[in-house]
Structure 1
Amino acid sequence: MTQIAIKQHCKPQRRSLLSSLLDSLSLLRQRQTLARLDDRALEDIGITRQQAEAEASRSIWDAPEFWQK
């Protein structure tokens, strides 16, 4: 595996409103899909039904922290 050295830090860019909206809609679709998975599929990805239901029930505005940068 090749590593690339970066000599200067990149400033984080502000996300556009459209980008934020599209990400939120994508997150909503992902959570809806997660809620529809059967127990075997959930086992394959290493989460329980309770974890899946808890994630699926989160608000659309409750995005992972790394999305909020």
Structure 2
Amino acid sequence: MSYNQALALNAQPLPPISRVLVSLALTVAAWELRHRTRKQLAQMPKHMLRDIGLSESHAEHEAEKPFWRA
């Protein structure tokens, strides 16, 4: 799907049930991304944390958050 097609779809209002389903799908996708990235963060070696500018304590604190919390 091209960018212009996506814009055209976005310009048309969705039926209420579709809006709910799209919102739910986006929420689940965000949760999955948080879960995956926090799991990877927890497994990062110390030198890589320093490379990205994170302290061990900050990385540990972020990795311990549940997936639903931003």
TM-score by length of 2: 0.66
Kindly report the root-mean-square deviation, in angstroms, between the aligned alpha carbons of the 2 structures.
1.3
Aligned match for 1:44, one of 51, 55, 66: 51
> How many corresponding residue pairs?
50
Structure 1 vs Structure 2: percent identity of aligned residues?
34
Higher Rg: 2
In structure 2, stretches of 5+ residues that fail to align are 1-18
Would you identify which runs of 4 or more consecutive aligned residues in structure 1 move more than 6 Å? Answer: none
Aligned match for 1:25, one of 26, 29, 32: 32
In structure 1, stretches of 5+ residues that fail to align are 1-13, 64-69
- Considering Cα pairs closer than 8 Å and 6+ residues apart, tell me whether 1 or 2 has the greater RCO: 1
